[in-house]
Amino acid sequence: MSQSLGHVIVTRFNLPSPGAESFIRAKEGWLRNRVELFETYCLPSMRAQTDRDFTWIVYIDPASPPWFMEWVERTAPGAFTALRREAVGPAEMVADIAAVLGSPPDHLLTTNLDNDDAVAVDFVARLRAAGASQTGRAALYLENGLILQGAQLFARRDRSNAFCSVVEPWQGAMTCWADWHNRLDVHMPAVRVSGAPGWLQVVHRTNVSNRVRGRLVSPRPYGRLFVVAIDDLPEPTTGDRLTDRLIRAPRRVLRDASRRVVKLLVLWIGGPDSVIRLTDARATVTQAVRRRLSVFAPVERRLPRADR
């Protein structure tokens, strides 16, 4: 691709959203927790990119509290462009990109990044290299990544992960928010890039849908790829690895397979909106159970993790 390629990374920080996320985001402390996660994982990983040829747009709720707006004003300069929006679709995003870039490029590369996740230091470089070889519209995925839960690290291959990108001609751009990240290949060809892990998902209590997947691994080989403190994680013992491989990993596979079958059936019967309603209902029940368990903190700590 000899023509210009503009790369824009987009993050929903606290946009108003319907469904389960709206209940979670309304909880006291949710926004402060997300700021902490953003400062711990997402922001440092973006500042450490070896290829700086990108623009980062972070969407925020215009009704955010004053302390958050002040934090944005302190943090954004030199890192990202904060835009206040109540809702953003592909058309609105293209208009925002045009305004931020000033002059539209020949080709546009857009990438989704959640505010509680991190990317490898060469994430942008690898995406731009993959995008430069495309002449038409295509979805791009760095298919290998890591999942962090507590002090444990898991290697995961996800061919249609949430760190999705779309490269396309500027005219008629659809962007990476054209559909769910795992449905972009319905609208366009998908290019999967193998190699070293390109992203890091963080599993924590306020996730709506993220959960542990993959296999338990040593953190040592990945410290050079991520600026977050992976090297500080303990080395899994032989017993940990065997337990994960023989017991927990098969359970996770069965869990994910059963959920996938249910989602496919719901999608086939009721369409995409029915899947959203199902996810909302499950998340609402999960949050209600967690609230009840929080009253009995010592009991909760003795409960096994969901992936065991």
The pair of structure tokens assigned to 235 is 């080395």
pLDDT band of residue 23 (cuts 50, 70, 90) is low
Candidates 166, 158, 208; CA nearest to 186 is 166
SS3 category, 201: strand
Query: How are beta strands 215-217 and 152-157 bridged, if at all?
Result: antiparallel
| pLDDT one-digit tens code per residue, 141-160 | 999 999 999 999 999 999 99
Q: Residue 20's CB: how many other CB atoms inside 10 A?
A: 21
* Domain chopping of the chain, boundaries: 5-222, 238-302
SS3 category, 215: strand
SS3 category, 110: strand
Task: Compute the distance between CA of residue 202 and CA of residue 152 in angstroms, rounded to an integer.
Answer: 11
185 close to 26: Cβ distance less than 8 angstroms: no
Q: What is the pLDDT of residue 109?
A: 98
What is the residue whose two structure tokens read 């410290």? 223
End-to-end CA distance of the chain: 47
| pLDDT one-digit tens code per residue, 114-146 | 999 999 999 999 999 999 999 999 999 999 999
120 close to 50: Cβ distance less than 8 angstroms: no
Record the pTM. Answer: 0.79
- For every residue of 99-113, DSSP letters joined together read HHHSS--SEEEEEE-
**Highest CATH level, class, for 5-222:** alpha beta
Sign of the dihedral through C-alpha 164, 183, 212, 68? positive
| pLDDT one-digit tens code per residue, 281-298 | 444 444 454 445 444 444
The alpha-helical segments, DSSP class H, found in 58-172 are 66-75, 90-101, 123-132
pLDDT (average), residues 219-240:
89
Q: What is the pLDDT of residue 110?
A: 98
| pLDDT one-digit tens code per residue, 32-60 | 999 999 999 999 999 999 999 999 999 99
Candidates 116, 120, 153; CA nearest to 34 is 116
Q: What is the pLDDT of residue 146?
A: 97
